[in-house]
Each structure stands twice: as C-alpha cells, then as structure tokens.
Structure 1
Amino acid sequence: MRDKNLASSTIRGTRAALNLFFKFALDRDYIKSIPTIPVPSLKKNPRPEFNKDEWNKLTTFLRKWVEEPCKGERGLNGYDKKRHRERFYLQHYVLIMGNTGIRVGEMRNVRWVDLDKVEVNGGEQRLLFSVDGKTGKRDVIANAGTERYIRRIYEYRRDELGKTDDDFDRTEFIFCHPDGKRIGTYRGSFETLLKDTKLRKDKNGNNRTLYSLRHTYATMRINEVPIYQLAINMGTSVEMIEDYYSHAKVRDKEFASSMTKGNQKGSAKALPF
C-alpha cells in the first residue's frame, strides 16, 4: 500500500472512530482493554482567502458572468433560463458567504424563516441569520449591504413560483433548486468559477475552496472589529481567530503605522516593486 501523508485532523478523526469501536469491543468482552492511540498535534493549516483586490476581481467578474446566458452563449440566440438561475444563485451565495463568515454546512440548512433583523446605532438595521452547525445554534450578524443580496434572491424565487409576499413559503431553504429541494453543494461550480477568473490558487499554490469565503470574511473583519466579537459571530474561539487570521493584522495599515512609530521615515519610491 502506498504511503500517504494524512492531515493531522484526519488522523485525529480516525482515532476517535477507532476508540468508539474499541469501546464497543470492550463492552462485549471481545478485548480486555482499549489500546492507547497517540494523539497527533493539530497542525495549523489555514485555508487561503481572497485579498481585497482578488475579491473585487471575483465579484466584478460575477456581475458579467451571470448575464451571459441572457445574451446567448456560443453564438446562440435566446435566454438560457436554467444556466442563468444557477449562476445567479451562485453569485449571491458567494456574496452572502463572504459577508457573513457562515460555514458551508451551516448555510446549507438556512431557511427564510431563519432570517431576522437587528437595529444598530443610528437606527439602521442589519440582517441576522440563525444557523445551526458545528458549534451548535447561534445568530450571525451580516455585513451592511447583505440585505440587498437576500432581497434579490427572495424576489427571484417569489417570482419564479408566481407567489405574493403573503403566500410565500418561508420554511423553504434559501439556496434551493426550482423544485424547492436544498442545494447540496456549490463546490464544482465554484471551482469552475475560480478557474475562469484565474483565482483557483493563491500565491503559494494552495487551492481555494468554498471555505475560502469564510476565511476572506475573517481576514477582512479582523482589522475592523474586536477579536472577541468576531469569534462570537463566527462561532469559534478567540484562540482560533488569533492562530489563523492574525497574519491579516500585520498587513493592516493602522497596525503597520502603530508598529513603526518613532522609526525614521521611509519612502515607497525606494521599493523595487
């Protein structure tokens, strides 16, 4: 059998499954004791995110990409409704995921009834998502502007069904097929999108995935909100935020300014790039 370098998280998961098996065997008196399996240290391997320029490139491309089926592709005339719908939903999935930091598995189960609003200073309102996933139930406050993306999907789906606001079924999944069944994953279409935009890999050669949207949210927000609040909104720990996203702090303009106070002034013209 060919040797493989397994991720430490994979080994830890396998260890947990084996321990359950050994416990079952012990309860049935098949074995005398549970063997000790060493616990490998969990290696930090943050998934690549999009920087601001890459995010702008992706979202700008999406606007044109969604409308292509309306104009007719490959010289064909007419409106490709199925393809337009798929691209429209993917576009708004990307925008919402990148502006909420919600996990892929959590968003999969979000229904219209799980949406609410909360008032912030100045009387403005922000969208609130109730999610249930890896760390249990929690409410997630979305970035300002996310309500526009949700409104677009709602109106698209309402008109697709020929419903009114009063008879629209709010127990339906937000990201669903025309028949109402939830969309399992956007992995394949997202990978194709990244290849088309030449954003599949980061500068270190790492492949971006759907989870890169969550990491993009974190790296952009870490310089704008306290880490404790960011951790609560993302359903993770302060330690995880510091371990995986502190690199974005160093690249922040204010952080760099505070770290170099009192140093001699430099000039960007001296840089060869």
Structure 2
Amino acid sequence: MRPKKITFSIAAQTAIKDAETRVKLGQNSPRLVSDYKDRLKHCDAFFGDMPISKIDARKVRDFRDELASKGLKSTAIAPVMSFVSVVLRLAHEDGLIMQKPPIPRPSQKPTPRSAFSLAEYKQLLQTLRSMEKASPPIMWKASPIDKELRWLVTFMVNGFFRPGDLFVLQHKHITIVPSNASEPAYLRIAAPASKGHANPIITMPVAVPIYNRLLSHQKAKGFGKPDDYLFLPHRRSRKYAHEIIRRQFRIALKKADLLQGPNGDERSLYSLRHSAITMRLQQGNVDLLTLARACRTSVEMIDRFYASSLTAEANRDKLFSFRHPTRYLAVSDTSTNATT
C-alpha cells in the first residue's frame, strides 16, 4: 500500500502491535494495549480516512482543540496526544511521513488526589467491616460487598499499588520472604512492568497475613493456583473486575462520608496509593529513593504528587534529629550559648 493511501487508523495498528510485543517481552503492562485501543477511538472520530501524510502540526493542534471542546481535561487529553505522538513517530521511522510534526502538550499542574488521614482510613475500614456483615448483602449488580474488598484496600495500602496494577497480579507473582532475626516477613512481588518500572515490589510486613487470609479464602473457592488472579479471580475480564471494585469502593466511600476530599475532589481507589505513600512519609523513617523503589515511581513524582501536601514544619522532628548529635557540629556549637 502506498504511503498516500495509509490512514492514521492503519498506521495506528503498527503502534498497537508494537505495544503487544512490549507486553510479551514484559516491558509494559497488558493494560497498555487496551489503553491504546481506547485512545484510537478518539483519533478515529477526528482523523477518519485522512491519509497520515496529510497530518501536519495544524491538524494535530485542531485535534487537541477538538478534544478540549468535548470537555476533556488536560489529564485526559495528555495520554491521547501521547498516543498520537507514538503513531507519528513510528510512521516517520517506517518512511510513511517525511517528518513527525510537533505534538502540543497540554499544560498539566500536579493534581494529587486527596489522601486519607490515619483517622479517616480507620473510619473507612470500620465502614467496610459493617458493610460486609450486612444482611441482605450490599450489592453492586450481581457482586456482593464482602471481606474481599476490605482485604484489597488493606493490601493496596500496605503494598503501595496502583489500582490498575493490582488487578493483573497473579499468585505466581508473589513470594513470601520469611522472617529472620533482624526483620519480619514481607512479600516480594514480581509484578508485570508498569509505568516503565519492572523491578520487584516489596510490601510492608502487614501484607503477609493479609495475603495468607486471601489465599486461604480463594483456595476454599477453588482458586489460588499460580495463574489465578488475586482479586475476583472468577472474573475473566480484568477490566470488568476493576470496574466492580471501583463501584463497590465508591459505595463504601459514600457510606463512610469520605467521598469528598478536603479540596473538594472525589476520592477513588487511587487515593489509597496516595495515602500509603504519604503515611510512610509522615510516620516512617524512610528516604525518598527507597520509598520510590518500593512504589515503582521516581523521587520527582513523589515530590510532585504525593509529598506536595507536606510542609517542612509537619515533620520537624525528623529535620531536627541526628543519629549522633555531635557528628556534624562541634561540641561547643550544641551549647545554649552558641552563636550563629
């Protein structure tokens, strides 16, 4: 097929096949492929049968403006434009276009989701316990809210997981690292690659008994095999499993009167990851690099999105503390008569 007859939609299939290959190689989460296909729907609605050789910088800007006119925010437009960039880059590499036009990037201010305070988190767990004991059961469609939702919440907080990553976890990804004389047991999780990170995750020690209870529960129902998923394993569609939990969690938030965060934004499952990270920053004694490795993110992202609500004064006890008070100061400098 001649380049002039190749449309954006045809060229986009190359990007999707490339994503499928990266998933097979373990470089990306399987969700990448479905995300690309969803983003292609936005592109098809605008570009239609337009030859990819006719797509220039003006057309790309018009596409961005079209998305904005439909009410999409910058956070929703950015991944679609990123997909357009991937398609055009591969088209240029394959000789379908002479050069890749510049891609306008919508400005994105950090918009961290509201975390739960420790008191709010305890309130949420108390609400979940009461809901799972309800008779008749509280349902979303045909799915009852039971103790599995509470286990998911606590497992997520003690493993710093992104919601999407949690639903592709299988038991074969989990290794229980036993306790020894110096440290308690914890989970080492070789999860599928996510957001460009492929290193194993380690959890807080509390995740071990949570996982053991979940595993026993799943085995009693005929699941718990290495290839079975941790949560809602009877649901083949992981996208639908995610949707079930998302809807159930929203019901729980409403019942606990915790749906709205202090900034007026709506909390979601992602707020649990935000809470997990901010709680470690506030209550733990961990450096940002170690925390970033455990969370499969970067120090920069923690600073921009998770630590943005923390002030220097909030953790002043850590700022003022030294392992050895005189290590960096002369003894005379620690006296009350010291001058500056």
Q: Specify the alignment match of 1:270 in structure 2.
A: none
Q: 1:222, 1:149 → 2: CA distance?
A: 22
**Cα distance change, pair 251–143 in 1 and its aligned pair in 2 (3 A):** farther
**Cα distance change, pair 258–234 in 1 and its aligned pair in 2 (3 A):** closer
The Cα of 1:83 is off from its aligned counterpart by 5.7
Q: Specify the alignment match of 1:122 in structure 2.
A: 182
Q: Specify the alignment match of 2:83 in structure 1.
A: 17
Q: RMSD in angstroms over aligned alpha carbons?
A: 3.1
TM-score (norm 1): 0.76
Q: In the comparison of the two structures, how many residue pairs are matched?
A: 244
Contact 2:158 2:207 in 1 (8 A): yes
Q: Specify the alignment match of 1:62 in structure 2.
A: 128
- What residue ranges of structure 2 are gaps of 5+ in the alignment? 1-65, 321-340
**Cα distance change, pair 6–255 in 1 and its aligned pair in 2 (3 A):** farther
Contact 1:173 1:181 in 2 (8 A): no
Q: Specify the alignment match of 1:250 in structure 2.
A: 311
The Cα of 1:7 is off from its aligned counterpart by 3.4
**Cα distance change, pair 120–6 in 1 and its aligned pair in 2 (3 A):** farther
Q: 1:73, 1:137 → 2: CA distance?
A: 39
Residues 189-208 of structure 1 aligned to structure 2 (within 5 Å): 189-208=248-267
Q: Specify the alignment match of 1:171 in structure 2.
A: 227
Q: Specify the alignment match of 1:107 in structure 2.
A: 166
| SS of equivalent to 1:64 | helix
Contact 1:172 1:180 in 2 (8 A): no
| SS of equivalent to 2:204 | coil
Pair 1:222-2:278 in alignment: no
Out of 207, 219, 223, the position equivalent to 1:158 is 219
Contact 1:25 1:31 in 2 (8 A): yes
Contact 2:176 2:208 in 1 (8 A): no
Q: Specify the alignment match of 1:38 in structure 2.
A: 104
Contact 2:189 2:202 in 1 (8 A): yes
Q: Deviations over 1:154-173 (max 9, x none)?
A: 11111222x8xxxx622211
TM-score (norm 2): 0.62
The Cα of 1:257 is off from its aligned counterpart by 8.0
Q: Deviations over 1:109-157 (max 9, x none)?
A: 1111211123466242112222122223222222222212111111111
The structure with more radius of gyration: 2
Contact 1:173 1:180 in 2 (8 A): no
Which is worse superposed, 22-31 or 95-104?
22-31
Q: 2:229, 2:77 → 1: CA distance?
A: 34
**Cα distance change, pair 73–208 in 1 and its aligned pair in 2 (3 A):** closer
Which is worse superposed, 110-119 or 241-250?
241-250
The Cα of 1:177 is off from its aligned counterpart by 4.1
Q: 1:203, 1:65 → 2: CA distance?
A: 24
Q: Deviations over 1:53-103 (max 9, x none)?
A: 11010011112221223xx469xxxxxxx865x422111111111111111
Contact 1:128 1:142 in 2 (8 A): yes
Q: Specify the alignment match of 1:262 in structure 2.
A: none
The Cα of 1:231 is off from its aligned counterpart by 0.5
Contact 1:220 1:248 in 2 (8 A): no
Which is worse superposed, 198-207 or 26-35?
26-35
Q: Matched residues, percent identical? A: 24
| SS of equivalent to 1:144 | coil
Q: 1:99, 1:22 → 2: CA distance?
A: 40
**Cα distance change, pair 9–253 in 1 and its aligned pair in 2 (3 A):** closer
The Cα of 1:212 is off from its aligned counterpart by 0.6
